[in-house]
Amino acid sequence: MAIGLAQPVVGAPPRGFGHRLRRALLTDPLGFFSLVVIVLLIVMAIIGSAMAPYPMQGEGASSVTTRLFPPSWAHWFGTDLFGRDILSRVIVGARGALVVSVAVVALAMAIGVPIGAIAGYSRGRIDGALMRLTDLFLAFPPLLLAMAIVAALGPGLDHAALALAISWWPWYARLARGTAISLRERPFIEAARSIGIPDRTIVLRHIVPNSLTPILVQATIDIGTVILAAGSLAFIGLGASPPAPDWGLMVAEGRTYILDQWWVSTFPGLAIFVAVLAFNLVGDLLRDLLDPRQNA
């Protein structure tokens, strides 16, 4: 009896997330570099004081004997107008940048996602009312609205974070609403309605969890954008207050000396640039990994 050749397997099983992640990191050097940068930022935020060559100066202690020193082996990024080591302050400042940005994005999601999910699932008058409220906030540029709120509340890092969250939530509401509209007619949602599950339970247990993929991608990108926005508020005196090691505040403190002592503003500005770029590139990488079309 002749033995036939094995037939090729039709429809290989979908590749797992881990396989796609390894493939993406191997074929995307920028994505791999950005992921390394974010891991380094997280480590700096957790143990920044232990990593800083001059921990006390990183926290704000001054040293008049080392005022405005250029970059050297003793001070890799130079010193500022108060004699503080800029590298130490950049490392310690990562904690505030990440904490504020994550807090702002989390609060904006907590406000916007439920509103968008309820609006997209309910439609009708509820959808119209919630979306008109969202449009009211979207009518203002986010940074300008945040500046107005901080000016009313008073300068401070906590007020800046609250103001940014208030100006950021409408984008998540719009995103969640669009996803909810596409989900509300799916068979599993109709099945849940047909057996009498309350609308509130459907929104919380079915609509919101199935809307998280595009929202998480947007949140990753927004963390970098919020770092830039928080730095902008600090630059104009509406964010962190001296002597906090805030990157935007450090750029503002060195703007007077930008021509002669360029390092005072340059290195904190580069920290903002690298952080924003890293989160944007990782957001793009995450979007590709979570795309169902990549499972094939």
CA dist., res. 89 & res. 79, Å (int):
10
CA dist., res. 130 & res. 146, Å (int):
21
CATH topology of domain 25-276: MetI-like fold (1.10.3720)
**Using one digit for the tens of pLDDT, what is the confidence trace for 158-195?**
899 999 999 999 999 999 998 888 888 888 888 888 88
Please provide residue 14's backbone torsions phi and psi, each rounded to the nearest 5 degrees: -65, 140
DSSP secondary structure of 217-279: HHHHHHHHHHHHHHHHHHHTTSS--TTS--HHHHHHHHGGGTTTSTHHHHHHHHHHHHHHHHH
CA dist., res. 45 & res. 271, Å (int):
13
**Using one digit for the tens of pLDDT, what is the confidence trace for 229-287?**
999 999 988 888 888 889 999 999 888 888 889 999 999 999 999 999 999 999 888 88
Confidence of residue 12 (pLDDT cuts 50, 70, 90): very low
pLDDT surpasses 70 at 3? no
CA dist., res. 22 & res. 18, Å (int):
6
pLDDT of residue 13: 41
pLDDT of residue 45: 92
Confidence of residue 211 (pLDDT cuts 50, 70, 90): confident
pLDDT of residue 6: 42
What angle do the packed helices 86-122 and 157-183 form, to 10 degrees? 40
All structural domains of the chain with their residue ranges: 25-276
The answer to whether 256 and 198 have CB atoms below 8 angstroms apart is no
pTM of the predicted model as reported, rounded to 2 decimal places: 0.86
**Using one digit for the tens of pLDDT, what is the confidence trace for 94-104?**
999 999 999 99
